Amino acid sequence: MRFAVVLGTNDVASAIAVHLHRAGFCVVLSHDPNPPVMRRKMAFHDALFGDPVRVENVLGERIDSTMDVFKALGDPAHVLVTPLGLLDLLPIRAIDVLIDARMQTREVTPNLRGMTRLSIGIGPGFSPSANCDVAIETRPDRLGQIVVDGWTLAKDDVGELGGVGAERLVLSPHEGRWHTPVEIGTRVYKGFVVGHLSGIPVAAPYDGILRGIVRDGSDVPAGVALAEIDPRGRHAQWTGIDAQGQTLAQATLAAIRLHAAERIGASAAGSR
């Protein structure tokens, strides 16, 4: 059984997890609180809180100990979701694929090389010559492109959804404790209060369907997305895997297959 660890519990990490699970991997999603997960109905994130979670008919199961992960390696029925970090997971068994899908904006990206047989970085800040074996672009104009040389492009503006760009996002104006009674999938209107950040009301910037919202009771930093409005009316999507997740998951599987083919080729050449 091939063992894959995906850093992150967001929608992109979850889309990749679904595809890896279907490809026969034992997949563990390792939670990172930064940034907070917003598109929770498209992610396995809420399994961390004991909620039943299903993404595209694949179940997510919270797991808390390295021993439980080890036991699941034999016959993983579900995607495993854990608060355990990478340093906790490394001793369990050799990791076949490590994927950083946290989509973080950070000045220093961790070096994943040498930890596993194959490391893949999703999004800005990754380079196969510096901190991973393969990188994958997330910018809308280059979504899913596999990078084997050089760096992925810096974070770009949010892609459009139904012709609406970044203005569909609700950003935290300051750090604080987030509270919301509003459920994902609710129709909202511009000015509708979707929650309170440290007691200060935060309103929807656009009419549409609430596509994502950070879990009630979360502590959030300034400048992160608290909620997202889908303006597409009856064509709105807030569950399952969207086009971005599908593209990035397929690119991840393509990178894994490419790496496997290269290893086989190198092995064949060395045996001549």
**201 in the same domain as 98:** no
Q: Is residue 193 part of a domain?
A: yes
Task: Give, for all 272 residues of the chain, the pLDDT tens digit.
Answer: 899 999 999 999 999 999 999 999 999 999 988 889 999 999 999 999 999 999 999 999 999 999 999 988 887 889 999 999 999 999 999 999 999 999 876 666 788 888 899 999 999 999 999 999 999 999 988 999 999 889 998 876 677 888 888 899 999 999 999 999 999 999 999 999 999 999 999 999 999 999 999 999 999 999 999 999 999 988 999 999 999 999 999 999 999 998 888 766 555 556 55
**99 in the same domain as 219:** no
Instruction: Return the H-helix or E-strand segment holding 87.
Output: helix 86-89
Q: Is residue 265 part of a domain?
A: yes
> What CATH number should be reported for the domain holding residue 181?
2.40.50.100
Q: Which regions of 11-70 does DSSP assign to beta strands (E)?
A: 25-30, 53-55, 58-62
Overall domain count for the chain: 2
pTM for the whole thing? Answer: 0.93
Q: Is residue 238 part of a domain?
A: no
Q: Is residue 191 part of a domain?
A: yes
**222 in the same domain as 170:** yes
**206 in the same domain as 250:** no
Residue 208: which domain range? 166-231
**124 in the same domain as 248:** yes
Instruction: At 93, list the tokens.
Output: 């068994």
C-alpha to C-alpha distance for 101 and 92, rounded to whole angstroms = 21
Assign 97 to helix, strand or coil: strand
**147 in the same domain as 65:** yes
> What CATH number should be reported for the domain holding residue 32?
3.40.50
Partners of 177 in the β-ladder: 219
C-alpha to C-alpha distance for 3 and 70, rounded to whole angstroms = 10
**206 in the same domain as 75:** no
Angle, alpha carbons 120-125-130 (nearest 5°):
65
Quickly list H helices, 166-271.
243-270
Q: Is residue 236 part of a domain?
A: no
**181 in the same domain as 152:** no
**182 in the same domain as 109:** no
C-alpha to C-alpha distance for 230 and 207, rounded to whole angstroms = 8
The mean predicted confidence, pLDDT, of the chain is 91
Q: Is residue 161 part of a domain?
A: no
**83 in the same domain as 17:** yes
Q: Is residue 125 part of a domain?
A: yes
Q: Is residue 214 part of a domain?
A: yes
**67 in the same domain as 113:** yes
**129 in the same domain as 72:** yes
